[in-house]
A and B are shown apart, each in its own frame.
Chain A
Amino acid sequence: MSVHSEPKFLDAGDAALVIEFGDSIDPMLNARVLALDAAVRAAAIPGVVETVPTYRSLMVQVDPLVFDYDAFVSHARTMIAGLDVASVHGRRWRVPVVYGGEFGIDLEDVAERHKMTASDVIDIHSSGLYRVYMIGFMPGYTYLGGLDPRIATSRRLNPRLMTPEGTVSIGGIQALVAGCAMPSGWHLLGRTPAITFMAQRDPATLFEPGDEIVFNPIDASKWDKLRRDAEHGDPIVELIPA
């Protein structure tokens, strides 16, 4: 696991390429990915269809009939040499979560594994400051770093066939807010009534890579109203000073 001394340009077919900065989960590495993402988008390069920032690399999807690969590589190298990581500013959000019970069916189990109480796990999970490294896989799937190692928990041997949208879970040293119902091998600590991706809402997405998240434990009695508000397009997450 490392940061490459020079970013690697990797082939992903004729309609995409990947610029890889390293292969670790590291905020500085991720910040470089996001800075290059911003630079490529601002450059409006002919043939670039869209960019997909991930933990550690930028995938650039292209129209092979228009895109000039060689020209892009040299342009991208220039952009990388001049990257201003400090220019990338995320926002900070407070995200409501109902922990435990039917909302987080693995809370007790995680507590037991770490020989603590459920409320210890909630305290630790909700006092962390998480970085949004990537939104990927499925719509609104928000991958977070910053989990307190005291509650890091290796993934389940048997993934669950379905977990609900909005699930707040942990897997290894990562944390996640699920944007849609999917199978998952992560541990379900709670659920947020917020909807991270909603096509009918403008903007469709709540979070962007580089944002920060804090979780705010709320009582289950607040679920119904907040969820209804979210379904009507209210973000219900709160922008707070960074």
Chain B
Amino acid sequence: MTSLVVVSCGPGTSIQDRGRFGYQRFGLGPAGAMDRVSMARANLLVGNAPDTAAVEMAVLGARFKVEGGRLRLALVGAGGQMKVDGDALAPMTSVTVEPGQDIEVGSVRAGFFMYLAVSGGFDIKPQLGSRALHSRGRVGGIGGRACQPGDRLPVAAADIKGPELAAPEPRSSSRDEPIRVMLGPQADFFTERGIATFLSEQYTITTQTDRMGIRLAGPPIEHNEKGFNIVSDGIATGSIQVPGTGEPLVQLADRGTTGGYPKIATVISADHSRIAQLTSGTKIRFTAVTRAIAVEAARKQVAELASYKASLRPVGSLDLSSERLLALELNEGWGERNC
């Protein structure tokens, strides 16, 4: 049995996949990768289906050792960098690692979440249809918990005789564009001025940010006479609740399934990965879009992933000039922001 052994890791290291669906009616939220796009890219680099379970690391890196057999790995997200026996890998490449080799993932450089994918995926039994850890529900992950030093993550058999892959084209950056939302379901709990504040002012990501959601700081959003308590109803990923303080809360993968604050808007699905990667201190704006635009953005995201997959080339066949590496780094935003 080939395993990836966790030598050391941060507390926010867990197995995640697309998430678990069908149990929100019993209070169990979907969990799943906070940045599905990065996880998908890491998986495609090692020849996996995009939603194959991977190791998600929040802020802090980790150290791993390979046991039993060779593995192929790729790391994507938050400008993270991987070293094998001390040698740094070019970003957006996969690498074959021999038993006994040391794999070091550095801390994030521009974002919140990194994904380490392994060819074949992890041979961990899904729980309620998914391997994703839901920590409060103690479901999925490693026996219902996050990764810890000493864990042996069994890897499913995979054909890794083909070449290691690299992504040739830097992805287009949309970092400074506003976060797109659809207004509702309770936009009618806010004054016109409240809605205008929400859509025109800047909000800052606070340190109270985790897999459950993001607390934003900024100008208070004015509720109308209906107040800020509702009879609890459903919360979707991306729901933006506004409690009595008037400062918004964006609900993400580990969110509660229901809640009692009115929700002014919902971040569209194509922007979930982007907002999840924002680190404290980042200033953002929101812009309202229609359902048609939101659905079109979701389609575009799928198309971009398909073109990313089609663009993968064997490592070495690309012109990995210093300019290109620099371009990749810049595009990944390395070193540009505080984490």
Contacts and interface: CB of A to CB of B under 8 A. Distances in A.
Interface of A: 1, 10-16, 18, 20, 23-25, 37, 49-59, 61, 64-65, 69, 134-141, 143, 179-180, 182, 197, 199-200, 204-205, 209
Contacts of B86: none
A137 B136 CA distance: 11
Contacts of A55: 231-233
Nearest to A11: B184
Contact of B26 (A14, A37, A182, A204): A204
Contact of A143 (B137, B232, B237, B263): B232
B257 A10 contact: no
Contacts of B256: 136-138
A37 B21 CA distance: 16
B27 A137 contact: yes
B24 A180 contact: no
Contacts of A139: 23, 26-28, 134, 136-137, 139
B239 A12 contact: yes
A51 B26 contact: no
Contacts of A137: 27, 232, 256-259
B55 to A, nearest CB: 21
A59 B236 contact: yes
Given A135-B25, A199-B137, A14 B234 contact: no
B298 interface: yes
A199 B258 contact: no
- List the 7 shortest-distance A-B pairs measured between CB atoms, nearest first: A59-B234, A136-B258, A13-B266, A10-B185, A14-B294, A16-B236, A11-B184
Contact of A138 (B27, B127, B140, B237): B27
Contacts of A59: 24, 233-236
Contacts of A135: 25-27
A56 B233 contact: yes
A57 B136 contact: no
Contact of A18 (B234, B297, B302): B234
30 contacts: A11-B185, A12-B239, A13-B294, A23-B231, A37-B25, A49-B21, A50-B21, A51-B25, A52-B234, A55-B231, A55-B232, A56-B231, A57-B233, A59-B235, A59-B236, A65-B299, A135-B25, A136-B24, A136-B256, A136-B257, A137-B256, A137-B258, A140-B26, A179-B27, A180-B136, A180-B138, A182-B136, A199-B144, A204-B23, A204-B128
A18 B183 CA distance: 13
A204 B138 CA distance: 12
B60 interface: no
Interface string B98-133: 000000000000000000000000000001100000
Nearest to B188: A10
B123 to A, nearest CB: 19
A204 B139 CA distance: 11
A206 B231 CA distance: 24
Interface in B282-320: 291, 294-295, 297-299, 302
B162 interface: no
Instruction: Identify which of A18, A58, A136, A141 gathers the most chain B CB atoms within 10 Å of its CB.
Output: A136
Contact of B24 (A18, A25, A52): A52
Interface of B: 21-28, 127-128, 134, 136-140, 144, 181-186, 230-239, 256-259, 263, 266-269, 291, 294-295, 297-299, 302
A24 B297 CA distance: 36
A20 to B, nearest CB: 7
A57 B232 CA distance: 9
Contacts of A199: 127-128, 137-140, 144
Given A14-B295, A54-B258, A134 B269 contact: no
B26 A197 contact: yes
A14 B268 contact: yes
Nearest to A18: B185
Instruction: Identify which of A13, A25, A37, A134 gathers the most chain B CB atoms within 10 Å of its CB.
Output: A13
Contacts of A12: 182, 184-185, 234, 236, 239, 263, 266
A41 to B, nearest CB: 10
A14 B269 contact: yes
Nearest to B234: A59
Contacts of B28: 139, 197, 204
Contacts of B140: 199
A108 to B, nearest CB: 28
Contact of B302 (A65, A136, A180): A65
A73 to B, nearest CB: 11
A197 B185 CA distance: 28
A138 to B, nearest CB: 5
A138 B137 contact: yes
B26 A18 contact: no
Instruction: Identify which of B263, B266, B268 gathers the most chain A CB atoms within 10 Å of its CB.
Output: B266
Contacts of B298: 14-15, 64-65
Nearest to A206: B26
Contacts of B21: 49-50, 61
Contacts of B24: 50, 52, 59, 61, 136
Instruction: Identify which of B21, B23, B140, B268 gathers the most chain A CB atoms within 10 Å of its CB.
Output: B23
